[in-house]
Structure 1
């Protein structure tokens, strides 16, 4: 694995500011229980009792407290005792898609490391959705975990600020961004696209197409893919972009859309493993020879290339190593050890039976 950040292309990750009207407050800090108590004219312990054991507080007092809670947006913190002791045992891990093996492998590898040090992993799914990501990050204000690990980078500036305000270790991954929130286990998506184009052109394909998400990492992989093809005087035969990926079926649908577009392609680079698996299944179901009539190459964890029949050709990164590196960074930060906060992993390619 490579730690020289300059040896890999940077990914120009999108940064999105919220759209607000002039003078609108874009960010509010979490309301503290002491603030609620002051506004309600009671003690903090009375607020806690009203929310957790309402039978211990008079109806009038509880009603007054609930009115203040509603006005301020206060969230009762179920882990307050852990906070008062200065330590939570939870590491929150948010994966892009639980059905994609590359993300679950990273999460599992992270869990194996941190659990040996008395920490527990809690997993959530963002599904490439800004709204789900926003909900997940807002929940962290109440959960207040020991650290957070994302299989991705955060694009919304408001979410980035919220995460910084938590003042806990944050590990992003899956993109080689210049400006991570805190810590980063990176690989270059632009370089992944370039490697895919190099492989297909070396194999003799002259009409490659692309299937992937139109934003985020899919866009970066398309960027590198198109750049490398242009350097070799090969035109992109066609492309299909989709908003999100939930299952293998999305790959089948995207492959049919590529066909319906009229593109004359002899190979397809799919920007993740679910799309690649779906495209391969669809091609085979139509009686197309793979790779005799069409080559299929996907991005993912190359170690999983042999899990399908035929074996799917794969360009990507060791996702278990992503999880292990993230865990090491979290543990080092918590214990006060000196460990680099950024690392960039090498990509690899495994040729299966589909190219």
Structure 2
């Protein structure tokens, strides 16, 4: 025989609160006083009560489902951001479903379809959607759409990120100011990386430098690409004095290969990365990199979704979290 399903009224009675307070706790724990929330949570545990999320969604017109779409999670620069984001959103009673769109976003449309069919409250995208039809379709939906890790001129809904073109510009100025003259770019085949590389080359030449040499590599970027990139330097007409890598993983591989070949870094060859992963500070020499505040991206997404749930009007559709160049031993 199946056990009887605990009821909301039993939780309220045991906690010494009204059923409305229990519902408020289930819908938005932050709206309930801490001591009251603790009593309600203890009553839920004791009774084994499980809320009917489908019924709650119908009543509130909110599913409390949030879709977070990322290209990949293996050696991904987005991992820390996603972890912080899921933790904060889950604390508000949301269920975050993370889906992989693939390095070239080949599964993006299928994952968007799956999210919309489940009536998610929000879709969080990693990067900027370039397909115009997909952008148009998402604009027509009622779900909140947040593009992250970029700042489009015309966001689908809201964007939280930074300018990749600005990263390229500032890296060109940084290296020019340090006296480097012959940069070589190792560029993953992604829109973000190519935007940084194009901006770097434009501003480098505007400051009087020659056209940088470029090596394009597949995505996702990885350690082995850096090793191959170093070996390919001997094939260049002019040996570079600095290699600008599209990720810290590539920079790490290049540094390891340079050290094995007896090349002194940065005296004979300087190296920069992107992402400021933990390995950038753990390597020897430490890697000069571009730091993106992933925790702030997560917090801004959390703030936006809270505001939307409360019916508030957002002051802006663009949130620029900026970036920093972290100068270390490699350049």
TM class, shorter-chain normalised? 0.7 to 0.9
Q: Report the count of equivalent residues.
A: 277
Displacement of 1:153 in angstroms is 0.8
Aligned to 1:117: 92
Aligned to 1:84: 58
Give per-residue Cα distances to partners, 1:112-160, cap 9 Å, x unaligned. Answer: 3212211122222334313122232222233332211122011112322
1:349 to 304, 309, 325: 325
| 1:122-141 equivalences in 2 (<5 Å) | 122-141=97-116
Displacement of 1:247 in angstroms is 2.5
Closer, same or farther: CA 257–89 of 1 in aligned 2, 3 Å: farther
Unaligned residue ranges in structure 1 (runs of 5+): 1-78
TM superposition score normalised by structure 2: 0.76
Q: Higher RCO, 1 or 2 (CA under 8 Å, sep at least 6)?
A: 1
| 1:7-156 equivalences in 2 (<5 Å) | 84-85=58-59, 86-156=61-131
Separation (CA, whole Å) in 1 of partners of 2:144 and 2:302 = 11
User: Partner of 2:128: helix, strand, or coil?
Assistant: coil
Separation (CA, whole Å) in 2 of partners of 1:171 and 1:183 = 5
Closer, same or farther: CA 224–237 of 1 in aligned 2, 3 Å: closer
Separation (CA, whole Å) in 2 of partners of 1:130 and 1:285 = 36
Aligned to 2:275: 300
1:172 to 147, 159, 176: 147
Aligned to 1:198: 173
Give per-residue Cα distances to partners, 1:188-232, cap 9 Å, x unaligned. Answer: 111101111112122221111111134411121012211221122
The answer as to whether partners of 2:147 and 2:159 remain within 8 angstroms in 1 is: yes
Separation (CA, whole Å) in 2 of partners of 1:248 and 1:126 = 22
TM superposition score normalised by structure 1: 0.71
Aligned to 1:272: 247
Separation (CA, whole Å) in 2 of partners of 1:81 and 1:109 = 29
Aligned to 1:337: 312
Aligned to 2:158: 183
2:225 to 238, 243, 250: 250
Separation (CA, whole Å) in 1 of partners of 2:102 and 2:226 = 15
Moved over 4 A (4+): 79-83
